[in-house]
């Protein structure tokens, strides 16, 4: 036997040991695959080198072994099974186990199909929602363990099915739409109805945007004043009812718009500032005037606080016992009316008017000053300060300063009105 023939036999033996599939490919008549062609060329090349260098058989065999291993790694490494292939293998295993356990072929095919679908959804389908995917993955792993432990295939399928169902129900409930998303859906419905009604697309876009904005302001934006939000909500609801009654998009939008405007105009008049708020503003204005005139921060702050306190005393503080005195006057007037034979209801109304007039005259301070009455306020503060310095109590001190303020305002603001 020639050296070349001996080395070829040795190479084929090494190939069988290292890669049996390669040996089979080399021995198969007419084989012409990339793997076979590449490795045959590598073997022939190495055999030629061994003949030329006349090395001993052991060294040449080692070189041949290394060449065959490199060839197998480069050309003959089998492709790993795909995700779907593994799932198909699992399905075949399920079908075989089921049939071996005496199951009907049709039923076994159904179990195999279910196992395959669950496996693909859990492992191979990127479109499966993440939460559902986690549940299906856990169910698939449960099924695999159950089958490997030689349990009944039907029982394993039932356990996996129930596990997936419970997991999805408990952990994958869809998130409710946000407030903004609900408004977007409403606007989309309007847009679809508008287009179907033959309106120009640009106009439909504008109507949908208008509705969406009003819906968000009515239901989602906490910065919108409550009264305005209520009016907007009424308008949005009216619009939905109009659309549901097959009204045209333009007509429904116009009705909703008019309703909102009327509601805001009639029901959302801004609340007037409270007595305390106006006095705070009065104090802030005194601080600003003082600092603008060059006063020190300490002096101006003290003057502003004093102005604020006197304003509260003049305008926002009910004199002690005033309400009780007015109530007593009202009771006396009602008693006199009844004693004269008056009707009970009429006498009660008389008592209410007496109490209201008394409170307005003696208990309710005049409102804090408007711009035209600033000089009157300052004069009233001077009177109040002098009376308090004279040692009179607060209730008695406020009366002359209030009367002076009212008389001054009547004159000053009347002149301004002219």
Mean pLDDT of the chain: 77
pLDDT for the residue numbered 56: 64
* Average confidence (pLDDT) over 162-171: 84
Q: Which residues have C-beta within 8 Å of that of residue 106, sequence separation ≥ 6?
A: none
Confidence of residue 395 (pLDDT cuts 50, 70, 90): low
pLDDT for the residue numbered 107: 85
> Which H/E stretch holds residue 58?
helix 57-71
Nearest-angstrom CA–CA distance, 128 and 136 = 10
Confidence of residue 31 (pLDDT cuts 50, 70, 90): very low
Reply yes or no on whether the pLDDT at 181 is more than 80.
yes
Reply yes or no on whether the pLDDT at 413 is more than 50.
yes
Reply yes or no on whether the pLDDT at 162 is more than 60.
yes
pLDDT tens profile 234-284: 988 888 888 888 888 888 888 888 998 888 888 787 666 777 888 888 888
Reply yes or no on whether the pLDDT at 32 is more than 50.
no
pLDDT for the residue numbered 28: 42
Instruction: Using alpha carbons, select from 402, 416, 394 the residue that is nearest to residue 368.
Output: 402
* Average confidence (pLDDT) over 108-128: 80
Token readout for 1 is 């036997």
pLDDT for the residue numbered 383: 81
Would you say 217 and 224 are in contact if contact means Cβ atoms under 8 Å apart?
yes
* Average confidence (pLDDT) over 199-223: 88
pLDDT for the residue numbered 328: 86
Nearest-angstrom CA–CA distance, 367 and 387 = 21
Would you say 50 and 60 are in contact if contact means Cβ atoms under 8 Å apart?
yes
Reply yes or no on whether the pLDDT at 228 is more than 60.
yes
pLDDT tens profile 141-155: 888 788 778 788 788
How far the first Cα of the chain sits from its last, in Å, is 137
Could you tell me the CA-to-CA distances from 103 to 74, 106, 151, 153, 208 in Å, in that order? 45, 8, 14, 9, 60
pLDDT for the residue numbered 416: 46
Reply yes or no on whether the pLDDT at 75 is more than 70.
no
More confident residue, 375 or 361: 375
């Amino acid at each position: 036997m020639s050296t070349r023939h001996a080395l070829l036999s040795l190479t084929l033996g090494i190939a069988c040991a290292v890669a049996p599939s390669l040996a089979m490919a080399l021995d198969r008549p007419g084989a012409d695959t990339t793997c076979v062609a590449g490795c045959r060329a590598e073997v022939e090349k190495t055999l030629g080198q061994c003949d030329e260098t006349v090395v001993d058989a052991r060294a040449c065999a080692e070189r041949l072994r290394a060449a065959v291993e490199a060839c197998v790694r480069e050309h003959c490494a089998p492709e790993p099974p795909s995700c779907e292939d593994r799932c198909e293998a699992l399905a075949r295993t399920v079908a075989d186990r089921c049939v071996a356990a005496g199951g009907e072929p049709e039923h076994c095919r159904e179990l195999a199909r279910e196992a395959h679908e669950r496996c693909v959804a859990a492992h191979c389908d990127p479109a499966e929602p993440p939460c559902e995917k986690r549940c299906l993955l856990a169910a698939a792993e449960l099924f695999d363990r159950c089958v490997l432990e030689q349990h009944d295939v039907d029982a394993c399928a039932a356990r996996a099915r129930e596990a997936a169902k419970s997991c999805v129900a408990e952990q994958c409930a869809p998130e409710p739409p946000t407030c903004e998303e609900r408004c977007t859906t409403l606007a989309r419905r309007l847009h679809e109805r508008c287009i179907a009604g033959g309106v120009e697309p640009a106009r439909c876009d504008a109507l949908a945007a208008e509705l969406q904005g009003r819906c968000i302001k009515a239901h989602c934006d906490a910065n919108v004043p409550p009264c305005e939000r209520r009016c907007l909500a009424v308008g949005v609801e009216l619009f939905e009812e109009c659309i549901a009654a097959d009204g045209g998009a333009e007509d429904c939008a116009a009705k909703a718009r008019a309703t909102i405007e009327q509601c805001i105009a009639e029901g959302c008049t801004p609340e007037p500032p409270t007595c305390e708020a106006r006095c705070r503003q009065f104090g802030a204005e005194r601080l600003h005037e003082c600092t603008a005139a060059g006063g020190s921060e300490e002096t101006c702050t003290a003057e502003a606080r004093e102005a604020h306190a006197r304003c509260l005393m003049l305008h926002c503080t009910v004199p002690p016992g005033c309400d009780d005195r007015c109530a007593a006057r009202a009771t006396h007037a009602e008693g006199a009316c009844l004693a004269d034979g008056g009707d009970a209801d009429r006498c009660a109304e008389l008592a209410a008017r007496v109490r209201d007039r008394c409170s307005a005259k003696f208990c309710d301070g005049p409102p804090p000053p408007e711009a035209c009455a600033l000089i009157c306020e300052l004069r009233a503060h001077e009177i109040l300060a002098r009376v308090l310095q004279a040692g009179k109590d607060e209730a008695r001190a406020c009366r002359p300063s209030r009367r002076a303020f009212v008389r001054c305002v009547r004159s000053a603001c009347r002149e301004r009105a002219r």
